[in-house]
Structure 1
Amino acid sequence: MIKIEHSIFALPFAWFGLFAAQDTFPSLLTFIVFSLAMVCGRSFAMGINRILDVKIDTENPRTLMRPLVTGEITKKQALIFSLSMGVGLLIFSALLNIKCVILAIIILCLSVLYSYAKRFTFLCHFILGLILGLSPVAGWLATGTELTLTPILIGLGVMFWVAGFDIIYACQDFEFDLKQGLNSFPVKYGLNTALTFAGFFHINTIIFFLLSGLALNLNFYWYLIMATVSGLLIWQHKLVSHTNLSKVNIAFFYINAIISPLILLGFILCSP
């Protein structure tokens, strides 16, 4: 039900915030505890989403093979796992500092809210974006550093990136969501306009990452990294159109799985 690769979207940005907060890398203990907290948080969010969406998933042809739908995993098992991950997030956050605990509670609440959001708002993509966008903020706070504009800029870049690719992903459920009365950008505005919004959000992603580089005084090569990321985002949008959604999974998972580690690597290589 939960795959380790599900952490690849947020974890590199969480490490980005962790490494950027101070002039030196954090202690190994802080790095390990924070990473465990992040994996627990991501696993809780994925698990609780699967539990709360199980009735919808049983009716959606695309999700009929999910373990909760097939019975491979019971709802009780999934609930025990998800709650354990939520408790793990709080425990590991408490080992860091009180600010991380407060942020962890906010993330847990937002994760539950996201699972219900498509039932009442087309802005559900931004709630998911906000959850992942808080990961660099969490990394920054994990070091005990005071919150500044820098991790917020990184977080905004992540938020628009996630909202954009989540809209692309939601396009494949357009017909189903429309029939079920569920909300999304594609349902609200149609496939073509929704994909245009996704492109606009990804332009914002690049803008905020460029501003993050300025705030962190990163060297010239950061902007080459951003040019590469821009190319990957353009490729992502070239793969999908309102008349052809056959390559949504390539656009959604494989390309985005390159982007987040690339940005982390770029920060490490480009730091002064």
Structure 2
Amino acid sequence: MVFTKAIKKIQDYGILVMFSHTVFSLSFALISMLLASNGLPSLRTVFWIFIAFMGARTGANAINRVIDAEIDAKNPRTALRQLPQGLLQKKEVILFTAACFSVMIIAAAMLNPLCVLLSPIALFLMTIYSYTKRFTWTCHLILGITCAAAPVGAWLAVTGKLSWLPLFMGAANTLWVAGFDIIYGSQDYDFDTANGIYSIPSRFGVKNALHIAALFHGITLVLLAIVGSLSNHFGIIYYTGLAIIAILFVMQHKMVSPDNLSNVKLASYSVNQLVSIIFLICGSIDILI
């Protein structure tokens, strides 16, 4: 009985923090790490980067659910999440978040002084994002910037200094995430406008929001091409990956329209999980061979 409850609790936390979405920024972080080290870094560095990443993204998703609990309870689409249902309690999720963020800071300290010095900025972004939908339609971009801490942080973890390459990669990560978050947010247009929730769809309408998302994804491809030009590691395999990603971007934007949002989840999440995997595979192969 105790074992069954423990398994159920673990499952609830897994759903709460959306472990299946880890791939969205992990690919950018890993490619950034490989580029920064001109190949594979030490196992110690890989370990602590991974621990820092998992602590950050898990804590960020957990605190997001706490901050948005009341909004989620009102929205029919999110009313069955763990906190609105009472399957998990706010206090325990806050403690879980604190543990995750503590792990991130410890991992940052194990990497280099600059990482731990900049960790409060990452913590601020991961916390403030959840409040932004209450006062600005740029919330999608702020989410993207928060996710972009992964590739920039991975670069800093290896080199201890910044350069243009991770900044361009971070910008690509920002617009990619913002783009598919806009697509996903389009399904909440009616709820957002009725409840004063800020978003690009609620500010500009679904049709214009989808155009903005497409623009963001177009710029993402340009930024990734710039990343390729800044590194001597990338060649035909990397650019073939970008071509496949371009096709996937077109596909996802063909799946949705203002009159048909039934494929929003498929377009915003499933397709972009493929984008992330292709970016990771093609980028890694070009760097390591």
Please tell me the TM-score bracket, short chain as reference: over 0.9
Residue number among 45, 48, 52 corresponding to 1:37 in the alignment: 52
What per-residue deviation string (whole Å, max 9, x for no partner) do you get for residues 73-106 of structure 1? 0111111101111111111111101221133221
- Asked whether the equivalents of residues 153 and 211 of structure 1 are also in contact (C-alpha less than 8 Å), the reply is yes
CA-based RMSD: 1.1
For the pair 1:19 / 2:1, whether they are aligned, the reply is no
| Residue 265 (structure 2) pairs with residue 249 (structure 1) | yes
Structure 2 residue 64 is the aligned partner of structure 1 residue 53:
no
- The answer on 1:224 being equivalent to 2:240 is yes
Q: Could you say which residue in structure 1 is the equivalent of 2:119? A: 104
Q: Percent identity?
A: 37
1:4 positional shift: 2.1
Q: Give, in whole Å, the separation in 2 of the partners of 1:76 and 1:32.
A: 30
1:183 maps to which residue?
198
What amino acid is aligned across from residue 118 of structure 1 in structure 2?
K
Letter in 2 for 1:112: T
Q: Give the match for residue 149 of structure 1.
A: 164
8 Å Cα contact 1:6-1:42 kept in structure 2 = no
Deviation of 1:213 after TM superposition, in Å, equals: 0.6
Match of 2:230 among 215, 228, 233: 215
The amino acid that maps onto 2:32 is: G
The answer (yes or no) to whether the contact 1:21–1:145 under 8 Å persists in 2 is no
User: In the aligned structure 1, how far is the partner of 2:29 from the partner of 2:108?
Assistant: 13
Letter in 1 for 2:127: V
Alpha-carbon deviation of 1:221? 2.4
What residue in structure 2 maps to residue 197 of structure 1? Answer: 212
Q: Which runs of 5+ in 1 are unaligned?
A: none
The letter of the residue matching 2:275 is: I
Structure 2: gaps of 5 or more residues:
1-15
Q: CA deviation at 1:33?
A: 1.1
- Corresponding position: 1:71 with 2:75: no
Query: How far does the alpha carbon of each residue in 1:164-200 deviate from its partner, in whole angstroms, 9 at most, with x for none?
Result: 0010011011100101111000011000000000000
Q: Which amino acid aligns with 1:120?
A: F
1:172, 1:248 within 8 Å by CA — same for their partners in 2? Answer: yes
Work out the CA distance in 2 between the residues paired with 1:67 and 1:53.
12
Report the 3-state secondary structure (helix = DSSP H, G, I; strand = E; otherwise coil) of the residue aligned with 1:192: helix
Q: Which residue of 2 aligns with 1:89?
A: 104
Q: Which residue of 1 aligns with 2:7?
A: none
C-alpha contact 1:168 1:195 (8 A) present in aligned 2: yes
Native 8 Å contact 1:97 1:144 kept in 2: no
- Aligned counterparts of 1:105 and 1:190: Cα–Cα separation in 2: 35
Please, what TM-score do these two structures have when normalized by structure 2?
A: 0.92
Q: Which stretches of structure 1, 4 residues or more, deviate above 3 A after TM superposition?
A: none
